[in-house]
Amino acid sequence: MRFDNCVSNIIQNNYLFSYTGNQNNQAPKGWHKGIQVADSGASMGYDGSNKPTHTTDIVVRWNTFANCGTQSIWLDSTGKGYDNVHIYDNTFLGVAAVTNDGHDFSLNITETTEGMQNYNDLTETIQPTLEMSEKVFSSIFDILDVKFTTTGATNQTEEDIHYSVKKTESGRIAGGIKIIGFKDLIYIDGVPYIPNNESVLVKYEAVKAPSFSWDQNGVSKIEKDVDLKNENGNITATFTVKMKWFKLSTDSTGSTKKKYKTSKAVFSDTVSAPQILDRPSELTGILYDYPTYAVAYVPPEGLTRVEYEYDGKTVEHVFLLGEQHRTENGIIYTNFSNVNYWKGDLPHTGEFLYINGSFDPEKLTVTAYTPYENFSVAHFDYVKKDYPVKFFADWLFPSFGLFLILWFGAWYYIRKILY
């Protein structure tokens, strides 16, 4: 957490601990801090954008720091000073403590501790609950404008993208075409995918060539055609332009006539194409029906989630969760991560939906979702699981008889030893 050039802030009731995964944005692992409070000067990469606000009136209290890299709190990292920063009543686990004597002072901030009391019970071994993390990160992602989704469909079109195509002249036509990206682009394990070969976002323009003298000339019609081809891992967009134009002439009688001509120009652009996502269009699940309960399973390959509905209650089994981002050109893409969690009203056991009681197939509806479409799972390999008809005769009675034999045998030998 960085508080650069801040005024009148209270930093409290946070639980900070190290992230040790690979998504560290090229930052050296282990070099991070828990909280940094300082005057930072200019914004990184933007010379001349000095920050005039001086760090003043900051309270850091009631926080827990667990193994926070090199320092729990880095105060005045730039050496430019600070005024009225007070750090007290924090807990430090596995990292050196920071103590700055200070006292409370009045800040024009509404303090809210509602729902925070559980954070004070956290220790190095008692980590934040999922609900705590969701509350914290949901607010962060709102600020960062990160949207989570289980679909890769964005419904984005070329009209949504503002891009100026660079035009070159070909005869009497000036035009150009540019593949600016791919619609419904997704990444799974770092590999890009699109739903089909038509998922290309193309911008193109064609006008009459400015360098050609159009005195006594004019354009009556411009026809445009775009063709897309996917070959050898590349997509080529070909832009064919036919321009019907005319030249004015005057005959011996003084009448003006138009002599029509047609010019043609072809422009193209080629880029490397993502793979077409291989995904199912139908699935067969499996259902085990026991006398007192049933369990159902749908294979997750190619799916983002499966939604089960039974007797008016629903539950989702989620396999892929995506974050939506934008490129510099404004193209929306979705970066999926592998997950495995259930969310809803129905219970589960392992990877199976659990249905308590006698199973009624009329009450079960299952829908499978890929990153681009959904379909009903209507086919299940149904396996009836009955308890043995001779359960008591074949198992319980022999077991009970063996128990009686062992008991009387033990009783006989004990009496023989004692008497």
Name the residue range of residue 176's domain.
158-276
- Read off the tokens for 136: 């914290």
**Three-class SS state of 49:** coil
Which of 276, 306, 337 represents a domain boundary (last residue)?
A: 276
Residues 126 and 26 in one domain: yes
In a domain, 91, yes or no: yes
Residues 14 and 62 in one domain: yes
Mean pLDDT, rounded, for 229-253: 89
Residues 17 and 133 in one domain: yes
Residues 242 and 112 in one domain: no
Looking at residue 278, its pLDDT comes to 94
pLDDT band at 117 (very low <50, low <70, confident <90, very high): very low
In a domain, 379, yes or no: yes
pLDDT of 130-146, one tens digit each?
565 555 555 455 544 55
Which one, of 344, 350, 355, lies nearest residue 288 by Cα? 355
Which residue in the block uniquely carries the two structure tokens 């659990």? 354
pLDDT band at 359 (very low <50, low <70, confident <90, very high): very high
Residues 262 and 336 in one domain: no
Indicate the residue type of 210: P
Indicate the residue type of 41: G
Count of residues making up the chain:
419
**Three-class SS state of 367:** strand
CA distance 153 to 333: 9
Which residue in the block uniquely carries the two structure tokens 């005319």? 246
Looking at residue 298, its pLDDT comes to 96
In a domain, 58, yes or no: yes
In a domain, 416, yes or no: no
Q: Which of 70-74, 281-285, 402-406 has the lowest mean pLDDT?
A: 402-406
Residues 216 and 95 in one domain: no
Which residue in the block uniquely carries the two structure tokens 């979705």? 334
CA distance 254 to 37: 85
Number of domains in the chain: 3
In a domain, 398, yes or no: no
Task: Count CA atoms within 13 Å of residue 402 on its CB side.
Answer: 6
Residues 119 and 163 in one domain: no
Q: Does the pLDDT value for residue 209 go beyond 60?
A: yes
User: How many CB atoms lie under 10 A from the CB of residue 143?
Assistant: 7
Looking at residue 71, its pLDDT comes to 80
Residues 140 and 167 in one domain: no
**Three-class SS state of 159:** helix
Residues 39 and 120 in one domain: yes
Q: Count, in order, helices (H) and strands (E) of the chain.
A: 3, 29
**What pTM did the predictor assign?**
0.57
- Read off the tokens for 210: 């400015």
In a domain, 316, yes or no: yes
Query: Residues 245, 213: contact at Cβ < 8 Å?
Result: no
Looking at residue 101, its pLDDT comes to 58
In a domain, 415, yes or no: no
Residues 236 and 360 in one domain: no
CA 414 to chain centre: 71
Q: What are phi and psi for residue 395, nearest 5 degrees?
A: -125, -55
In a domain, 251, yes or no: yes
Strand ranges (E), 254-359: 256-272, 275-276, 284-289, 293-297, 305-310, 313-326, 332-344, 348-349, 352-356
Residues 6 and 129 in one domain: yes
Residues 237 and 311 in one domain: no
